[in-house]
Amino acid sequence: MSDAVPVAAAEMAAAGFSRIALGLEYKGARYRGFQRQSANVPSIQGYLEAALSKVAGGAPVSILCAGRTDASVHSSGQVVHFDTTVERSLHAWIMGANMNLPNDISVTWAKVMPAHFHARFSAMARRYRYVIYNDPIRPAHMAEEVTWNHRPLDVARMREASQALVGTHDFSAFRATRCQAKSPVKTVHHLQLIEHGRFIVLDIRANAFLHHMVRNIAGVLMTIGAGERPPEWAREVLERGDRHSGGVTAHPYGLYLVQVDYPEEFELPPRYLGPHFLSGLPDVRQP
């Protein structure tokens, strides 16, 4: 472990507070997204802050996350942090939170961090998996955890099309109209299509993502895979820079935030890439 982390943690302890990072996984189907909203709207943030506040003996806890997922979007690798003056063991933060959380939200790890760590702004890259269940019959199981596509999809065509999106590009054609990002230029480090039984997994890692970017990419690739457009269409959509030319936004059910990358100095606990039913898939990340 680097010397900077324990020294910074000791300095915060001397100042009377600690910064705690947590790993988080959740099924987003019944939530209106990660971000806390009004009191009557269920959110991941709202439930987690309430649970952590109970562990803290009633002291209010406010969290910040690596990425605010949308309604019905899941995560197996979300990272959050919070500051607290309450002293608890890391085990107590994990188990105490989980005792007070719904069954579809779980804290997976906890770690004391230095003051300069920030769950969002310290992140170097984020990784998503979009899971498509490709079968003519709708699935009775996991219906809210995968996106069902009844049309036969040609994965080779999807792979060919996907390579046009790798690298640094203006992704205006793949951003939602209400996206608030300052710049549409993002760098996609890898974009892979993996076949796993009836599943087709779109695995994508980038320095950052625009609102609905992954779902819009998935929509374009599924349209190409179904034979409705040629593989060259993905590049054409990208170069036009017009959201209206990019087809339908894919459903949120199959989308998972699976990993957030940080500088090595923070040494966050390793965990398998999710979702859990795909934990045996290889890490396809490229250098």
- Cα–Cα distance measured from residue 25 to residue 212, given in angstroms and rounded to the nearest whole number: 20
Distances (CA, A) of 132 to 108, 153, 211: 25, 10, 20
- Cα–Cα distance measured from residue 20 to residue 231, given in angstroms and rounded to the nearest whole number: 46
Surface-to-core class of residue 171, CB atoms within 10 Å of its CB (0-12 exposed, 13-18 middle, 19+ buried): buried
The gap between the terminal CA atoms of the chain, to the nearest Å, is 24
* Residues 143, 148, 195: CA angle, nearest 5 degrees: 110
- Cα–Cα distance measured from residue 171 to residue 159, given in angstroms and rounded to the nearest whole number: 18
Which candidate in 70, 83, 154, 170 is catalytic? 70
**Cα maximum dimension of the chain:** 63
Active site residue 83: no
31 in a known ligand binding site: no
Other C-beta atoms lying within 10 Å of the C-beta of residue 245: 14
Distances (CA, A) of 89 to 18, 59, 187, 224, 270: 11, 16, 39, 51, 20
CA 238 to chain centre: 23
Other C-beta atoms lying within 10 Å of the C-beta of residue 137: 8
Other C-beta atoms lying within 10 Å of the C-beta of residue 271: 15
- 3's enclosing H/E stretch is none
Q: How many residues does the chain have?
A: 287
Write out the binding residues for substrate.
128
Write out the binding residues.
128
Catalogue the active-site residues. Answer: 70
